[in-house]
Amino acid sequence: MRRPVVGVIGNAHQVENRFATQLVGERNLRAVAEVAGALPLMFAGTPEITDIAALLDAVDGIVLTGARANVHPTRFKTEPDAKHEPYDILRDDLALALSEACVARGVPLFGICRGLQEMNVAFGGSLHPEIREIPGRMNHRMPRLENGEIHPDPTVVFADRHDVTLTPGGAFAKLLGRETIRVNSLHGQGILEPGKRVVIEGVAEDGTIEAIRIADASSFALGVQWHAEYDPQCNPINRTLFQAFGDALTGSQRR
């Protein structure tokens, strides 16, 4: 049997403010290769380049990665605000349609950070552009220095920062063998209202939705708000998630 192939979505990026490129963080690729046991295949996050039907004929699973850009507010009937930029509208176009297509075809789907948000919006849910502005919520964004610059030490940036309580008997609790986990936190946008098929499976201490599954999906269809791709080689929580995703790919190969 051939090694399964996982499509990893790209993000619009400009090199030297002139050259349009598609960017994928290497940690995502390494997580797929080293922990899920699959061959990562980067694809462009724009429908002008990537045909969804052709893509799903070529891969056994999809990872929707995190990204700096927010999902555009018009996708959930909210007015945009310049302070919540940047946006990646073409990725929105592709990722939302791709989320639905994966679930419809039984293709394993793993959403991480923005990927979780895209899954929620794809199934009719909404997002809040800045979770920390909701009364009682913590600041979920990455740590910064006093001068406002991002902390230079990735071990500080990606350190576990808060607990997540998992639904007893839910998919995550069964996979992980526990009902409380501790995770990193690097996001501003977050789920406000869950979509119709979106089942909440994990909630942070402040009420922020951290883990979801898509109801009645025939294969793996899970999303996490934290960056599970950072350390699955050594983190038992994230390793288990990527291994479970990898296990689901074998069934996808037979479809």
Separation of alpha carbons 55 and 61, rounded Å: 10
Q: β-strands 162-166, 61-64: how paired?
A: unpaired
Q: Catalytic positions, please?
A: 113, 227, 229
> Within 13 Å, how many C-alpha atoms sit on residue 243's CB side?
13
Q: Which residues pair with 203 in a beta bridge?
A: 165, 209
- The residue behind tokens 């080293």 is 34
Q: Determine the Cα–Cα distance for residues 33 and 38; give it in Å rounded to an integer.
A: 5
**What does R_g of the chain's alpha carbons equal in angstroms?**
17
